[in-house]
Structure 1
């Protein structure tokens, strides 16, 4: 949903209102347009801005085309398109103009989507929610307010998004009415909040003491009515909050746990079971406290990420250095990062050298050496050496900000299991509630037993009707697992992807840049008629002016070992074959076998060496003249050090098949596959052939994950059951396209991801079965009269707590 930045608070003109009214009457409007018009008509400032993401731009010229195209619209006052970020900001004097933007953009050959929520969309942290029914109660209650346009409450993350036209205080007040506390996300929790929590804990302790005195009194001959008063006081103290919440839940037509527990407690009091009623609300209050405290630990996984980047930075202006909030720093500013400090924003080093601990972003345990021109990320730690960094991204665009945003989105997305359980609970609860009423009324009317006995059984059914443990079984496990993954440099973009990853039986890897370094290096030198140093010196001279990756690898290698080039001149590129240059009045060549065959150079012994190297998957560069060959240099894309160990760990984690996909020839593919320790390989593939390979594996019955760089392998990543991108810290595209992103540029964290996903699936299944068994057991024990009301409450809150604690194990899970 788009942001409407209300820069001016003045009312809209009559003509603007008339325009909107006319638009609303137009029958040909699409549903989306009608919704947009309705929203716009609710709030019409004199000038508004919207932020969009533009898709389909190929170069900076596209951005200019869009700016010019939209600027022709009458109501558009300003258009800014940034090609590098693919973002567009549009200012309009009339809100109705925004409706035309999507159509106009399509005419130009591009597409757009609104990037953010509206300016009147606020995000709150909600305290006190114990299960998803609490979230539903808040949604239902706030939906009754005329000022609220849209609301979404997520139990897993403890967040509420509200689009409204009232004050923040109004929303906080309404939420407090139904027994919860809303805190605007931008505000820090105050001391008063902690005092309120302490007061609530004190009230629970006080009610427990009153119950204890009442029980003690009943055993020591104290009047029964005194014990009853103590129980009643305990009920009021512990039960005030849930009864208040139940009132608003009923008013908003919601049947949550507060309604069920309040009905059970009040019912117990009506039939004279004051101890039972007091125990019900007391156990319920204790259970809520323990559950809330436990769930907070899962939500801390995101809060810890938010604290990674410092709020201020040392900015250099001329010869002066001063502190400045990071949100005020712009692209191009120079920031100073002292040894031991966290880097506040993404940027490029322009002065200094250091080792940077990138574990918060990539999960890599070993610090990475950084020097001039290298990129550094916000939230990483400068180990030693002062750095001057030129800021390249604003605070909201940094890698850590994107990680936080993606993880929050992931935690808000429901997995298929969670969605199914929520649907089941929405049917289960009202059905059992109706059964409870039927138990209270029908058997006595039909002459089976007395009213008191059946009424008590009905109250027990009310408590058992609360499916808290079942509903909470999946989301807490998913949030914990996603938080654990993020802490280890892995982004899992939702519960559904976490579940799928746990079922993967085959993983296909792109070769270049995934299993291998992706950068050719000199791997073998064969000097025939000169020394190795002389051969490299000639090769260095010939390849120095070439831009080919193979030439660059030879030059880099010669530089590394201190070889000096000769004096060369008359450099010339021979397309498809190699290069030539004049050195000391002789013409020298560097190229492939065909180049020297065309010149009729004797190659009797050379061909055997070339064939041997090519069989190992290496690219061969021959150095010589028109008369003789001086030697051969072999260049190859070497396998990453971590690839073989990572693939071995994957097999141990339960992945049956590892497959390599490559466009290389059979010989190269066979050699790399052997070194990388993969089960199978497919060679000579074009991009579309990789898709066919994925489909072939799926047809064999495998659940397939594809690992690539997120750009060139996009079709295969999309075809696979799970797309996994590497090196997300360096590429925004990888973070946007894949289902799972490995932030580091290696496979180290992939086995951890697979094991974590399988562990999460196991814990989710454990929680679901445990919750069901507890419910069924409680239901069975009601009929013979073996289950008491307080035992029913204890089974419900206790089961929910056990389920949460079991899920919390995922936060600490390690391979």
Structure 2
């Protein structure tokens, strides 16, 4: 059978619609069995011949079209071998066996296309997620327009329980949105209006709680969305395009079987021609030699081999896409199944990527609430990410609000900040800021700082009235599911899990201890990450790099498999990675690796089945121990078995 993509079989859409091929195969079977019945139970033998000829027509119609297309391109493939066998059978008067051959071959072909179309359809279903029309807001009235007509900057209204019609940012209202179609997340995600939007803001730079994707489903509230991507550039459109491109990238096993077939088919044709003249050497008629040659021709056709890998690769890619994971082609799918080492970026991959307030330690009898009030008043004047994180956490964790008693805040580069608070100076920063301003840091506080730094925390001292009144520390916390995910990866055979980070080695070690990594490498610049990947590759031969795809692009490009997280919004991640987890969730990693392992084992099973059947049938047909009927039945049975085995991947669950 052939490896063309099902949608290339334009002739499949014949007079009876897209199932014409299947109906023709069934008609071929009906005529074959009618002819068989007449041959055995009736005296009018001509009728049986008429039925067999009709079976030839219906069974051979699509096979002939296929063979002609191939021969035009100078390819002699399996369809050609089958037709040659059927014509040979008719020539020696074995019409019944020829009809059986064409009936089973066309049925196998039709079912194979049906199965491949099923896998394709589950991918194409992604494309149908996009709604066709959008509600455009124009001077306070709503106009229905096709989504192709939307322009960047348009404002659209998304009604409750309808699909979002463009990638954009929520500018009014709040709602929970079901993003399963794009990111594979099973739980709806809350989305809020963004407070201010600069005109030049990029879609990728917007926080995920403000942005929405085409094809996702709105909850119970009305929201207004500003369009930031045209329909052809939307995440879902690019996803569909990339998945269909992915199918055309052959896997290593596919390339190998292609090479094998290239040599195998001419050798079979040569062998069959030689066998036609066996009557010159052994005592049999020309017709008996020809019959044996035709049996061998049927037995040696590598139908099952041709379809074994593509059907498994396509099913694996389709299954992954359904769960919000884009795998770019068979190579990435097979490579992932052999991994034992994974390298991770830290920030935003294993950790939240946002610093959290972890310790508040007031000193010298200073009241904790007063201490926090002072810190909050001063830090809320600063726009520094750390200051913003501290202010946010004091408000949320301790329910304290600002009293606006701080003023004249100024940042001191590389050291911290100073401000006025109730008529006196406040300093928040590192020990150098303190000593520069004549504030004494005792050895026991230095020790306390060292302990916290050892745990990977960033520590800030707080001074007021020229004396230390406490210290606070912040840390980028591990993702909630990171530890559990790494344990599951270990359970499915990933031996080495290494963190590569630009952060301090202490920070790396601390996170590694908390979540169970085998190794952490800190203080790495992007080019150091590339060197680290190359070293690991020499040691373990295959390595995956997991990151958010932006600053990790060079390291990903150098790894065997680059895996990008949160790729739904990031164009860079989609371009550079071999595998893209559309959601921002590291939890889907064990599923992807498990699916790849399963795909590899199914590809192996299929190869053994297909080669085993050929190795079994060729000798027994050469010896004349099997007729065309039994050779065809075993042969086509193995092809169906291979396709059904591959389709199991569509139902894969970890």
TM-score normalised by structure 2 residue count: 0.93
**What does residue 752 of structure 1 align with?**
591
CA distance in 2, matches of 1:201, 1:618: 66
Mark the CA change 1:601 to 1:464 in structure 2 (over 3 Å): closer, same or farther.
same
CA distance in 1, matches of 2:425, 2:154: 51
Spell out the pairing of 1:299-318 with structure 2 (5 A cutoff). 299-318=120-139
Does the 8 Å CA contact 1:260/1:465 hold for their aligned counterparts?
Answer: no
Deviation at 1:700, TM superposition (A): 2.2
Deviation at 1:200, TM superposition (A): 5.1
**What does residue 414 of structure 1 align with?**
250
**What does residue 202 of structure 2 align with?**
none
CA distance in 1, matches of 2:383, 2:62: 73
Q: Which has the higher contact order (CA 8 A, sep 6+)?
A: 2
1:609 aligns with 2:448: yes
The counterpart of 2:2, out of the listed 115, 131, 134, is 131
**What does residue 375 of structure 2 align with?**
539
Spell out the pairing of 1:502-517 with structure 2 (5 A cutoff). 502-517=337-352
CA distance in 2, matches of 1:647, 1:248: 51
CA distance in 1, matches of 2:337, 2:503: 31
Mark the CA change 1:197 to 1:705 in structure 2 (over 3 Å): closer, same or farther.
closer
**What does residue 426 of structure 2 align with?**
588
Does the 8 Å CA contact 2:25/2:110 hold for their aligned counterparts?
Answer: no
Mark the CA change 1:552 to 1:302 in structure 2 (over 3 Å): closer, same or farther.
same
Mark the CA change 1:432 to 1:350 in structure 2 (over 3 Å): closer, same or farther.
same
Spell out the pairing of 1:772-791 with structure 2 (5 A cutoff). 772-791=611-630
Deviation at 1:447, TM superposition (A): 4.7
Mark the CA change 1:661 to 1:327 in structure 2 (over 3 Å): closer, same or farther.
same
CA distance in 2, matches of 1:698, 1:253: 42
1:564 aligns with 2:399: no
1:369 aligns with 2:190: yes
Spell out the pairing of 1:42-121 with structure 2 (5 A cutoff). none
**What does residue 357 of structure 1 align with?**
178
SS in 1 for 2:187: coil
Deviation at 1:616, TM superposition (A): 1.5
Does the 8 Å CA contact 2:299/2:621 hold for their aligned counterparts?
Answer: no
CA distance in 2, matches of 1:590, 1:446: 101
Mark the CA change 1:207 to 1:599 in structure 2 (over 3 Å): closer, same or farther.
closer
Does the 8 Å CA contact 2:152/2:230 hold for their aligned counterparts?
Answer: yes
**What does residue 33 of structure 2 align with?**
212
CA distance in 2, matches of 1:630, 1:299: 66
CA distance in 2, matches of 1:559, 1:356: 27
Does the 8 Å CA contact 1:239/1:262 hold for their aligned counterparts?
Answer: yes
Deviation at 1:366, TM superposition (A): 1.6
Deviation at 1:203, TM superposition (A): 4.4
**What does residue 507 of structure 2 align with?**
668
CA distance in 2, matches of 1:413, 1:539: 57
Spell out the pairing of 1:197-276 with structure 2 (5 A cutoff). 197=18, 201-220=22-41, 222-247=43-68, 249-250=70-71, 252-276=73-97
Runs (5+) with no aligned partner, structure 2: 195-209
CA distance in 2, matches of 1:427, 1:702: 31
User: After superposition, what is the alpha-carbon deviation per residue over 1:401-425, rounded to whole angstroms, capped at 9, x for unaligned?
Assistant: 1111111111111112111211211
User: After superposition, what is the alpha-carbon deviation per residue over 1:91-134, rounded to whole angstroms, capped at 9, x for unaligned?
Assistant: xxxxxxxxxxxxxxxxxxxxxxxxxxxxxxxxxxxxxxx512xx
Mark the CA change 1:237 to 1:546 in structure 2 (over 3 Å): closer, same or farther.
closer
CA distance in 1, matches of 2:527, 2:63: 59
Does the 8 Å CA contact 1:332/1:392 hold for their aligned counterparts?
Answer: yes
Deviation at 1:614, TM superposition (A): 1.5
**What does residue 320 of structure 2 align with?**
485
SS in 1 for 2:41: coil
CA distance in 2, matches of 1:703, 1:200: 44
CA distance in 1, matches of 2:324, 2:24: 43
1:445 aligns with 2:316: no
Spell out the pairing of 1:610-629 with structure 2 (5 A cutoff). 610-625=449-464, 627-629=466-468
Mark the CA change 1:663 to 1:329 in structure 2 (over 3 Å): closer, same or farther.
closer
Mark the CA change 1:225 to 1:479 in structure 2 (over 3 Å): closer, same or farther.
same
CA distance in 1, matches of 2:343, 2:286: 66
**What does residue 347 of structure 1 align with?**
168
SS in 1 for 2:587: coil
**What does residue 491 of structure 2 align with?**
652
CA distance in 2, matches of 1:253, 1:793: 26
User: After superposition, what is the alpha-carbon deviation per residue over 1:375-422, rounded to whole angstroms, capped at 9, x for unaligned?
Assistant: 100011112211111111111000111111111111111112111211
Does the 8 Å CA contact 1:535/1:623 hold for their aligned counterparts?
Answer: no
User: After superposition, what is the alpha-carbon deviation per residue over 1:502-548, rounded to whole angstroms, capped at 9, x for unaligned?
Assistant: 11110011111111111111111112232222112111222223232
CA distance in 2, matches of 1:274, 1:569: 100
TM-align CA RMSD: 2.0
Q: How many residues align?
A: 635
Does the 8 Å CA contact 1:417/1:474 hold for their aligned counterparts?
Answer: yes
1:430 aligns with 2:266: yes
Deviation at 1:201, TM superposition (A): 4.5
CA distance in 2, matches of 1:730, 1:233: 57
SS in 1 for 2:609: helix
CA distance in 1, matches of 2:21, 2:253: 34
CA distance in 2, matches of 1:236, 1:803: 27
Mark the CA change 1:660 to 1:206 in structure 2 (over 3 Å): closer, same or farther.
closer
User: After superposition, what is the alpha-carbon deviation per residue over 1:641-663, rounded to whole angstroms, capped at 9, x for unaligned?
Assistant: 02111111111121111111223
CA distance in 2, matches of 1:369, 1:660: 31
Mark the CA change 1:466 to 1:727 in structure 2 (over 3 Å): closer, same or farther.
same
CA distance in 2, matches of 1:206, 1:660: 61
Mark the CA change 1:194 to 1:355 in structure 2 (over 3 Å): closer, same or farther.
farther
Does the 8 Å CA contact 1:661/1:685 hold for their aligned counterparts?
Answer: yes
Bigger mean CA deviation after superposition, 791-800 or 222-231: 222-231
CA distance in 2, matches of 1:573, 1:244: 77
Deviation at 1:709, TM superposition (A): 1.7
